[in-house]
Amino acid sequence: MAGARRPGRNFLFVPGPTNVPERILRAMHVPMEDHRSPDFPKLTLPLFDDMKKVFQTKEGQVFIFPSSGTGAWEATLTNTRSVGDKLLASRFGQFSHLWIDLARRHGLEVIVQEEEWGTGASPERIEEALRADKNHQIKGVMVVHNETATGVTSDIVAVRRAMDAAGHPALLYVDGVSSIGSIDFRFDEWGVDLAITGSQKGMMLPAGLGIACVSQKALTQMKDATCTKAYFDFADQIKTNEGGYFPYTPALPLLYGLREALNLLFEEGLDNVFARHRRLASGTRAAVDAWGLKLCAKDPKWNSDTVSAIMVPEGFNGADVIDRAYRRYNLALGAGLTEMAGKLFRIGHLGDLNELMLLGAIAGAEMSMRDVGIAVEPGSGVAAAQEYFRGAQGAGEARLAAE
């Protein structure tokens, strides 16, 4: 149909999937091969070791499944828990809700601590619940590190501190799908027992890999776990991963892509990756302030460095902003989910991004809001972000010069 072509590139600024760098796309463009050949472990064995560096663990064991992050959720629970086991979970967004639902579908009893959407897990309430559990019936604490639906990051260090203060032996399960590879995450130092991520966010890959890291303490609970598992059985993985193989056909192109993604992260340096995400997030927040709008996060301590959930004024629908951005400006923004439906739109700022790319998204969001009648001053958000980025870049250059 005449006029149907949309020139240029779609600006993908949902909080996952994220942009896939050209180097990763090229690395994935490989012919199929025998995944049981003698040479295959040359690819796979270093992947397990290097993913441990991303989780920042020496003792944890990494598992790589052909799945989404939801598969990794399922793997961590079914391999360490039995039907009827009690878990404690904070619910403060769509993804914490879905994890709770998955646990319940596997016959686990979840004690839910409801938190206001826009806040995160409460270490104080977690400690209180664990202290009250004198017989240690609660077997695990489930926390979403970065709640993508609301742009909130919980304090995992404080959660572990609360668990230790209560003297409780429960395992700490952490969803790091939209944090690991983008926000500092220290598996060993923070005392995490099971953490999961997916390939399509900070790892800069297409969706299709669910990755879990499991502590030695958690692995010892496998022998008593009676939840049904087959595809996600850790025991099958352990048996074959040791030699560099998998119990079934792996997602070959994604493994080659993961190799290149790890190369990119290590070339930049993980500390620099985390600092870049903080810088991009801070510039976005400067734009939101200039627009006179608010984030869903109720306090700066909850602010996420990978996604900003931006509340629209009363009387407006965030879905209209998203629709306008997509149809008119070829910009993909994240939608408000369930309780937040229509109340906000989300700008994802994670993965393979730099300042100029993000300024394009901020400009597109600004134009889209004006188009639907939201009275933001033209250029205000872009200018605020520009000035922040200029100052942050200057500070970084001065620091490097001093070093």
pLDDT computed for residue 395 by the predictor: 60
Report the percentage of the chain scoring pLDDT > 70: 97
Tell me the pLDDT of the chain averaged across its residues: 96
The angle, 0 to 180 degrees and rounded to 10, between the axes of the packed helices 270-291 and 355-371 is 20
Q: What is the pLDDT of residue 6?
A: 80
Task: Please check whether residues 152 and 290 belong to one and the same domain.
Answer: no
pLDDT of 400: 42
CB atoms within 10 A of CB 151: 32
The average pLDDT across 338-350 equals 97
Contact 322, 369 (CB under 8 A): no
Does 9 reside within a domain? no
Token code pair at residue 288: 């939101």
Is residue 56 pLDDT above 80, yes or no?
yes
Q: How confident is the model at residue 4 (pLDDT cuts 50, 70, 90)?
A: confident
Average pLDDT, stretch 309-329?
A: 98
Which segment of 4-13, 63-72, 282-291, 353-362 scores lowest on mean pLDDT?
Answer: 4-13
- 27 in any annotated domain: yes
Burial of 271 (0-12, 13-18, 19+ CB in 10 A): exposed
> Per-residue pLDDT averaged across 348-358, rounded?
97
pLDDT score recorded for residue 27? 98
Q: What is the pLDDT of residue 97?
A: 97
Q: How far is CA 213 from CA 120, 185, 194, 298, in A?
A: 22, 12, 6, 31
Total domains in the fold of the chain: 2
Q: What is the pLDDT of residue 392?
A: 85
Q: Which residues pair with 196 in a beta bridge?
A: 175, 212
Query: Is 6 inside any structural domain?
Result: no
Q: In this model, does residue 301 exceed pLDDT 70?
A: yes
Do 345 and 373 reside in the same domain of the chain?
yes
In the listed set 231, 246, 266, which residue is the last one of a domain according to the structure? 266
Assess whether pLDDT exceeds 80 at residue 5. Answer: no
Instruction: For 178-216, write each residue's pLDDT tens digit.
Output: 999 999 999 999 999 999 999 999 999 999 999 999 999
Tell me what the mean pLDDT of segment 245-270 comes to: 98
- Is residue 116 predicted with pLDDT exceeding 70? yes
Find the domain containing 43 and state its range.
Answer: 22-266
pTM reported for the whole predicted model: 0.95
- On whether residue 81 sits in a domain, the answer given is yes
Question: pLDDT class for 1, splitting at 50, 70, 90?
Answer: very low
In a domain, 1, yes or no: no
The pLDDT of residue 396 is 53
pLDDT digits (tens, 9 = 90+) for 142-163: 999 999 999 999 999 999 999 9
| Domain-embedded: residue 12 | no
Where is the domain boundary, 228, 247, 266?
Answer: 266
CA 329 – CA 377 distance, rounded (Å)? 18
In a domain, 35, yes or no: yes
User: Last residue of a domain, which of 266, 284, 312?
Assistant: 266
How much is the pLDDT for 2? 55
- Dihedrals φ, ψ of 36, to 5°? -120, 15
- pLDDT value of position 3: 58
Please tell me whether residues 206 and 347 are part of one structural domain: no
Tell me the three-class secondary structure of the chain, residue by residue.
CCCCCCCCCCEEECCCCCCCCHHHHHHHCCCCCCCCCCCCHHHHHHHHHHHHHHHCCCCCEEEEEECCHHHHHHHHHHCCCCCCCEEEEEECCHHHHHHHHHHHHCCCEEEEEECCECECCCHHHHHHHHHHCCCCCEEEEEEECEECCCCEECCHHHHHHHHHHCCCCCEEEEECCCCCCCCCCCCCCCCCCEEEEECCCCCCCCCCEEEEEECHHHHHHHHHCCCCCCCCCHHHHHHHHCCCCCCCCCCHHHHHHHHHHHHHHHHHCHHHHHHHHHHHHHHHHHHHHHHCCCECCCCHHHECCCEEEEECCCCCCHHHHHHHHHHHHCEEEEECCHHHCCCEEEEECCCCCCHHHHHHHHHHHHHHHHHCCCCCCCCHHHHHHHHHHHHHHHHHHHHHHHC
Whether the per-residue pLDDT at 403 is higher than 60: the answer is no
Instruction: Classify residue 4: in a domain, yes or no.
Output: no
Look up the CATH number of the domain holding residue 196.
3.40.640.10
